[in-house]
Amino acid sequence: MKLKYELSIQEVADKFVAVAKNTETETVEQVFNLNETGAIILKALQDGEDVPAIVDQLLSQYDIEAQEAEDEVKAFINMLTENGLTE
């Protein structure tokens, strides 16, 4: 999965905001709120990590089952796709 835009993640008052910027036109395409898990997943995707690696990262940081972590990662990727943020 490849991200369509350059995404900048900012932490604001214990919340996370992601800004999708078109690198060709330098315009902001979308701004959306993330929770901590979403920020971790998005950063990992930006680093080129695949789903199993992101699941492992979530398992090392949270007390959750592997299936729950995988479901969270896949749901987040689906949300990115539904919002036109992937190619």
The better pLDDT of the pair 66, 12 is held by 66
Taking the C-alpha atoms of residue 63 and residue 47, their distance in angstroms, rounded to an integer, is: 23
Query: What was the pLDDT predicted at 1?
Result: 75
Using CA atoms, how far apart are residues 30 and 22, in angstroms rounded to an integer? 9
Condensed to tens digits (0 to 9), the pLDDT of residues 19-72 reads 988 878 888 988 889 999 999 999 999 999 999 999 999 999 999 999 999 999
Report the chain's terminal Cα–Cα distance, integer Å.
7
Query: What's the confidence (pLDDT) of residue 81?
Result: 92
Q: Rounded to whole angstroms, how far apart are CA atoms 10 and 15?
A: 8
**pTM assigned to the model:** 0.86
